[in-house]
């Protein structure tokens, strides 16, 4: 069976990836900070889908704990076929209203961890001539919305480069750019979650992402409304777009 490693796997998009990949017959390595919740999710996946599930308790902000996940990805004796860099981090306030420590922590999770884990995974994958990486980015990457958007723009740029760089060595890299999705993410930020047409179902999102990944696409932007938004950002001046940055923060 192929093995997938998913960060931020106990809730939201990461949990949905774990479930969908288990249905496909993937053994799993699940990474999250909450050990009790990890064990609970792992137990359900083993029972429901008959797959092997390994758990790694790690806070990706902590260098030593991030290094543990890197070491697992580099383990040639237990190869990881798919890395899903999903661990999330969001800040409700604007840049100067956040403590700099929170801003740095967000950068560590959304950029440094993606960089280091991708580096750890791509080495063995290119040696084998097979494998894949899905980096969970955001439609915010196309918009001027402060440091969160800046981190996701980095994820997009890095993923597009890596997709072209390693395709010839049998490795697929894709950036997934969700819009607003019905998960715990906004609740943890103490932001009101909506239910209108702009809010995507998480199972639809992950199913579409995996379908796009199977097709070798560099970007997955689930939902016609978000494809339209991504396209329009190329036509609308950045200063005008910046006026919309409060959307999703209330």
136 bridge partner residues: 176
Q: Which two tokens stand for residue 247?
A: 């959307």
**Residues identified as active-site:** 148
DSSP string, 161-191: HHHHHHGGGTEEEEEE---SBSSSHHHHTT-
DSSP string, 102-161: HHHHHHIIIIIHHHHHHHHHHHHHHHHT-EEEEEE--GGGGS--HHHHHHHHHHHHHHHH
Cβ(181)–Cβ(199) below 8 Å? yes
Backbone angles phi, psi at 247, to 5 degrees: -60, 130
**Which helix (H) or strand (E) covers residue 55, if one does?**
strand 53-57
Q: SS3 helix, strand, coil % of the chain, rounded to 5?
A: 50, 15, 35
The Cα 152–Cα 146 span in angstroms is 10
The Cα 130–Cα 82 span in angstroms is 9
């Amino acid at each position: 069976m192929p093995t997938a490693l998913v960060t931020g796997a106990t809730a939201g998009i990461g949990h949905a990836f774990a479930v969908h990949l288990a249905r496909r017959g993937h053994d799993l390595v699940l990474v999250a900070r909450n050990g009790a919740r990890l064990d609970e999710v792992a137990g359900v996946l083993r029972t429901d889908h008959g797959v092997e599930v390994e758990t790694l308790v790690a806070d990706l902000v902590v260098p030593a704990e991030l290094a543990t996940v890197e070491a697992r990805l580099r383990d040639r004796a237990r190869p990881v076929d798919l890395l899903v860099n999903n661990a999330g981090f969001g800040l409700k306030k604007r840049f100067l209203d956040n403590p700099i420590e929170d801003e740095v922590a967000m950068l560590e999770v959304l950029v440094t961890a993606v960089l280091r884990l991708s580096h750890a995974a791509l080495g063995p994958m290119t040696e084998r001539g097979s494998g894949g990486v899905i980096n969970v980015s955001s439609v915010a990457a196309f918009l001027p919305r402060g440091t969160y958007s800046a981190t996701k723009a980095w994820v997009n740029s890095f993923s597009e480069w890596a997709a072209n760089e390693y395709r010839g060595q049998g490795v697929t890299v894709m950036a997934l750019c969700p819009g607003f999705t019905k998960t715990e993410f906004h609740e943890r930020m103490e932001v009101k979650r909506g239910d209108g047409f702009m809010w995507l179902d998480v199972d639809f999102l992950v199913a579409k992402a995996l379908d796009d990944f199977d097709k070798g696409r560099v970007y997955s932007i689930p939902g016609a409304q978000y494809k339209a938004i991504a396209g329009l950002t190329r036509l609308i001046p950045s200063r005008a777009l910046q006026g919309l940055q409060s959307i999703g923060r209330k």
